[in-house]
Structure 1
Amino acid sequence: MTVTFEETGAGWTYGGERIVLALVSIVTGWLFLQRLLRSSYRLPPGPWSVPVLGCMLWIDHKAPFRTFSQWADKYGRFFYARLGKNPVLVINDATLVREIFFSDAFQKRPHMPSTTQRLKETNGLHCGLIFDDGDSWKEHRRFVLRTLKDFGMGGRSIEEKVAEEAGYLLELLRGTREAPFDNKVFISTAVANVVSNVVANQRYDVNNPEFVHLLKGIAHLFRSSFTKTLLGAYTALKAIPPFDAVWQSNQSAKDTMAAFFGRQVQEHLGAWREHGESDLIDAYITALRRGEFGTFAERQLLYLVEDLMLAGYETTTITLRWAFLLMCAYPEVQDRVQKELDSCVPAGSGARPSEQLSLPFTEAVLAEVHRYASIVPWGVAHVVSADSQLEGYDVPRGTWILPNLYHIHHDPALWEEPHQFRPERFLTADGQLQRLPDYWMPFAVGKRRCPGESLAQVEFLMFFTAVLRNFRLQLPGGPQSADLRPVPGATSETVLYSLVAIPRS
C-alpha cells in the first residue's frame, strides 16, 4: 500500500515511500562523502553539517554573528563549517587573522554569483576590484590608491568636497524644523555624492528619484536572508519559487546599477580629453589608452566603478547611522562630544582632520562606533588557493576564509564589558587618545585591507562633527526607545529609526 503525502499550499502530491527512500539515499550518500572527506583530510573542528544546507540550520538568521560568536567560544581560535556547499574556515583570533591575511597563500577571493556572472560576460577576463585576483587586482588596487591621492586624498580638495556635502546635509536637517524624519536618504545621498565626485565628478540632489532608487538598490544588495544565502551557494534555485522572486529582486538592483554607471562610463568615453582628467573614470581611460596597465579594459572600468560606489557608499552611510543612533541612546556621550566640539570647532561647520588632536574624546567615540557596530562582521571572504595546513589541521584548496570581526570586537578577553558602548576604553587616564590596539580592525587587515579607508575616515569625522556641532539629536521616544539590534547582511545595518534634529545656538 502506497502512503501519500499532500502539501496543500504547494499543490504537490508525492508517494511517501519514494520520499523516504530518496531522503535516506541522500543522507546516506552525504554521510559517506563526509566520511571519505574527513578520512582524507584532518579538518578543523566545527559545527555538524547536513546535506545541501551544511550548518545553516543551526544559525540564528536574525543574528548570525551571535551564532558565530558562540561557535568561536566553543571551538577556539578557528572552526570549520559548511554554508550550503561552501566550505568555510572562520578565524576568531585577531593575531591569527593578521598572520593569515598577510600570507600570500590566502590572498585570493572566492567566486560569488555576481563575480561568476561578470567573468562569464568577459570570457573569464574581468570581475572588478573587490573579488579580483592576481595581476589584475594588483594593478587596479595600485591605480585606485594613486588616483585617490592625485585627486586630493590626504589634502584639502577632498576635505573641501566633504565640507560642501556636510553643508548641504546641515541645510536638510534645518529644513526638518525639529519634526521626526528618516535620516537614511539624507545621509546616504551626502556620502554617495562624495564618492560620486571622486569617481565621476558628479553630484545628485536628495530629491533626484533616479539616484535615490539607485542607492536603495545598492542597500538592498547588502541585506541577507536564509533564502539569499542558499541562492549564493546554489544558483540553480533561481528558477524555483520562492527563490525566483529573490533572485529577480537582486538582478533588478544589479541591472539598475549597471545601467546607471554604464551611462556614466559611456559619457566619459565620449567626452574624454587627455590632460583634462577630472575624476577617476577619466584617469582610468587615460591609463587604458596609454596602455599603462595590461589588465585594463572598458568593461573592467564599469565593474570597478560599481565596486567603488558599492563599497564606498554603503559602509560609511551605515557607520554614520549607527553613530547618530548611539548618540541618541547615550545622551551623556553626546553631551561630552558637543562640549569638546564647542571648544575648537566654529558653529555652522564640522571638524577637519587637522583638528583631530584637539578632539580626543570625539576620536574615541568614532573608534568605539566602529568596534561596537562592527559594520562588516565577517570582512570580505578570502579563499585558499592550494591545500594548506593550519596548526596541524588540513585546509583544503577552495576553502573560504572569514575573519570573525564581530566576535573579535566583542571578545571579553580583549575588551572590558564588550557589549557596552564605552568610548573611554580608548582614552588614557588623563583623557588622551590611546594608540588603537591591533585587534581593532573595522577595515580588515593585510594585503587586501580596504583601499578606501582614508576617505571613509575623513567622511566619518567631518559629517559626524558637523551634525553634532550644530544639532542636538534625539529619538521621538527618548533614549530608552533606541533599538540597537543590528539588521544582518554583508553589512550590519541599523533598524529603521526616526531622528529629531534640534538646532543648537
Structure 2
Amino acid sequence: MGLESVVSGGAAPVPPICESAGHENDPSLPYKFSNRSFTNTLFLKLLDHIRYQVTFKNMILKVTCPELIDAISYDVPPQKRQGGTQGRRVGLVGSNGLVWQNGRRFALRHLKDFGMGKIKLEGTIEREVSALLDHLGNTAGKPNELGHNINVAVVNVIWKLVADRRYDINDEEISYFASLIDSDFDEIQGPMALLDHMPWLIPLLPQVIKNKWMNVNKVIQHINTVCDFLRKVIEDHRRTLDPSHPRDYIDAYMIEAEAQKDNPESTFRLDYKDLLVSVSDLFVTGIQSTSTTLRWVFLCMALYPDVQKKVQDEIDSVVPRDSLPALEHKDRLPYLRATICEMHRRASIAPMGMFHMATEDTTLAGYNIPKGTVVGAYLENCHYNKKYFEKPHDFYPEHFLDDHGKFISKKEGYIPFSIGRRKCLGESLAKMELYLFTAAILHRFTITPPPGVTLTTETDKTKPTFNFTLPFSVIFTKRPTT
C-alpha cells in the first residue's frame, strides 16, 4: 500500500449489517473462485470503530471470504492526493484501468527480466545477507533494537532491479528516507485514518486540525522529500540512458515511453509522472514489507526457542556450518519454510490487504453493494480460522507440514500476499528474500530476549491498518562455527 493511498467511496445505504449474516454452510451460496466453491461463514461489517454508522454514504465493508473480492472488483478507491500528477491516476498501486494494467504487466515482465524471483538474483540477495550478518555480528551479545539497517539491506535487493543502485547498510541518506517512510506509516494509521474512512471530512476540517492533530502537513512534507530524491534518480537515468543496454526497470520504462511517444493512447508518457509514482511504490513497499516481516521473524524466534532450535538443527543437518544456506538447500528444509509461513500467518501484517471498490451495483449474500462502495478482504480472519488451521492462536509450524513432514506449498486459507489481480507484485522476490535472510541469520545466530525482558506479539491497537510489532530488542548470539 503506497503512502498516498486513501480509502473512500460513495455508497447508498445497505441493509443493516450485523456480526454474522447467518449464512454458515448455506448451500445456496456457491460462490466460485478458481473452480472451487465456498460455503464458509460470510459476514459484512463496518470497521469496528464505525460499525454503527450504517447510513453513512462513505463506508467500508469487510468480507471474510476474500476469494469473493474478484467477483466484485479489482479497482482501488480514489485517492486524496498524488503529488504532481494533476489528478491523473498513475503508478502501480493507486491507478486503475489501462494505466494500472499496462503498468503492472510491464513491471512484472521487466523486473523478472532483471532477475526478480529467479536464481540469478541469489548472488545479489546473498551480498545483502552477508552485510546484515556482519552488522548484527558487530552488536552480538548486546540488546539490538533492529534499526533501519534491516530496511537498507532489504531495499537494496529491489533497488538493484529498479534503479541499479546499492547503498551501504550504514548509509545515512537511505536510512533517513527509511525513517521518513516508517514515520508516515505510523501517521496514516493514527487520526489521519479518519480521512480514509470518512473522506467527506476532507473539505470540512480546518487546516489547523489536519496539521496539528492529524499531521497531514508532516506526511506531505515527507512524501515530497522522498519524491525529490526519486526525481534525482530518474534524472540521472535520463542523462546516462543507453537504449541498447538497459540496466534496470527505470531504463526499460524510458525506452518504452520513447517508443510510444507518438501514440496518443499510450499510458507510458515522457513526462515520467507515472514512472515517478511507480518507482515510489516499489521503493516504499521495498523498504517496508520484507523488513517488517523480518522483524516478526526475530520476535517469534525469541519467543519460541523450541521452534528456533528445531529450525537450526534442520539447517545444520543440511548446510555446513561455515557456509550460507542457498536456494539449492530449500527443498531439504521443510521445517524452516513452514516456520516462515507460520510467522506470516500469525503476523498477518496487512490484515485487510488492499481495499477494492465496486465498479457496478452488486448483490452479495443478500446485501446490496452499490457502485463505489469500498470493500476489504479480511485476510486475517482466514489466518485465524480453525477450518484451515488446527491451532490458530498458537505458533505452530506444523500447520504447513503434512503427515510425512513434507512442506505444504499451497495451503487453503493462507493468503499473506493477498489474491486476485492485485496480489503483491513482488511476492516471488519477497519469498526468496525471506528464505535466504531467515536461514542465514538462524544459521549464524541464536536470538533471545534481553535478561528480564518479556516480549509480546501484541501489536499497536491504535494503528489498525497494519500489524506492526511493538518496539522491542533482542540479543543475537553467535553460534559455534564447528
Shorter-chain-normalised TM-score: which range?
0.7 to 0.9
State which of 187, 201, 205 in structure 1 corresponds to 2:150.
187
Quote the Cα distance in structure 1 between the aligned partners of 2:12 and 2:338. Answer: 48
Percent identity of the aligned residues? 32
1:239 maps to 2:211: no
Deviation at residue 100 of structure 1 after TM alignment: 2.8
Amino acid at match of 1:493: F
Deviation at residue 369 of structure 1 after TM alignment: 0.7
Deviation at residue 302 of structure 1 after TM alignment: 0.4
Whether the aligned pair in 2 keeps the contact of 1:227 and 1:243 (CA below 8 Å) is no
State which of 283, 287, 290 in structure 1 corresponds to 2:259.
290
1:259 maps to 2:224: no
> 1:341 — aligned with what?
315
State which of 154, 160, 179 in structure 2 corresponds to 1:197.
160
Amino acid at match of 1:434: I
Deviation at residue 155 of structure 1 after TM alignment: 2.7
1:77 maps to 2:77: no
1:333-482 pair list within 5 angstroms: 333-477=307-451, 481-482=454-455
Amino acid at match of 1:464: T
Deviation at residue 454 of structure 1 after TM alignment: 0.2
Whether the aligned pair in 1 keeps the contact of 2:315 and 2:333 (CA below 8 Å) is yes
State which of 157, 162, 166 in structure 1 corresponds to 2:125.
162
SS state at 1:240 partner = helix
1:30-41 pair list within 5 angstroms: 38=13
Amino acid at match of 1:230: L
Quote the Cα distance in structure 2 between the aligned partners of 1:238 and 1:421. Answer: 46
Q: Note the alpha carbon deviations across 1:243-295, whole angstroms, 9 max, x for none.
A: 44511221122112111111111111111111221111111111111118810
**Structure 1's 43 and 312: CA in aligned 2 closer, same or farther, altered over 3 A?**
farther
Q: Note the alpha carbon deviations across 1:206-243, whole angstroms, 9 max, x for none.
A: 33222111001112222244411113333333603364
Quote the Cα distance in structure 2 between the aligned partners of 1:123 and 1:260. Answer: 20
Say which one has the larger Rg.
1
Q: Which moved more, 1:267-276 or 1:405-414?
A: 405-414
1:131 maps to 2:106: no
Whether the aligned pair in 1 keeps the contact of 2:445 and 2:478 (CA below 8 Å) is yes
1:5-24 pair list within 5 angstroms: none
Quote the Cα distance in structure 2 between the aligned partners of 1:257 and 1:85. Answer: 34
Q: Which moved more, 1:210-219 or 1:322-331?
A: 210-219
1:216 maps to 2:186: no
Whether the aligned pair in 1 keeps the contact of 2:341 and 2:397 (CA below 8 Å) is yes
Quote the Cα distance in structure 1 between the aligned partners of 2:373 and 2:379. Answer: 18
Quote the Cα distance in structure 1 between the aligned partners of 2:128 and 2:418. Answer: 27
Matched positions, count: 430
Greater per-residue helix proportion: 1
1:15-94 pair list within 5 angstroms: 38=13, 42-43=14-15, 45-46=17-18, 77-81=42-46, 86-93=58-65
Moved beyond 6 Å, runs of 4+: none
Quote the Cα distance in structure 1 between the aligned partners of 2:164 and 2:206. Answer: 37
Deviation at residue 127 of structure 1 after TM alignment: 2.3
> With structure 1 as the length reference, what TM-score do the two structures score?
0.80
Q: Which moved more, 1:306-315 or 1:482-491?
A: 482-491
Structure 2 residues without counterparts, runs of 5 or longer = 1-10, 20-39, 51-55
Quote the Cα distance in structure 2 between the aligned partners of 1:241 and 1:363. Answer: 47
Quote the Cα distance in structure 2 between the aligned partners of 1:44 and 1:366. Answer: 40
> With structure 2 as the length reference, what TM-score do the two structures score?
0.84
**Structure 1's 46 and 249: CA in aligned 2 closer, same or farther, altered over 3 A?**
farther
Quote the Cα distance in structure 2 between the aligned partners of 1:389 and 1:85. Answer: 17
Whether the aligned pair in 2 keeps the contact of 1:474 and 1:500 (CA below 8 Å) is yes
Quote the Cα distance in structure 2 between the aligned partners of 1:349 and 1:148. Answer: 29
Quote the Cα distance in structure 2 between the aligned partners of 1:504 and 1:200. Answer: 36
Quote the Cα distance in structure 1 between the aligned partners of 2:115 and 2:206. Answer: 44
Deviation at residue 414 of structure 1 after TM alignment: 2.9
State which of 183, 191, 194 in structure 2 corresponds to 1:230.
194
Quote the Cα distance in structure 2 between the aligned partners of 1:44 and 1:267. Answer: 55
Quote the Cα distance in structure 1 between the aligned partners of 2:12 and 2:441. Answer: 56
Q: State the Cα RMSD in Å.
A: 2.2
Amino acid at match of 1:81: L
Whether the aligned pair in 1 keeps the contact of 2:388 and 2:412 (CA below 8 Å) is no
> 1:495 — aligned with what?
470
Quote the Cα distance in structure 2 between the aligned partners of 1:215 and 1:155. Answer: 26
Q: Which moved more, 1:431-440 or 1:387-396?
A: 431-440
Amino acid at match of 1:279: D
Amino acid at match of 2:434: F
Structure 1 residues without counterparts, runs of 5 or longer = 1-35, 48-74
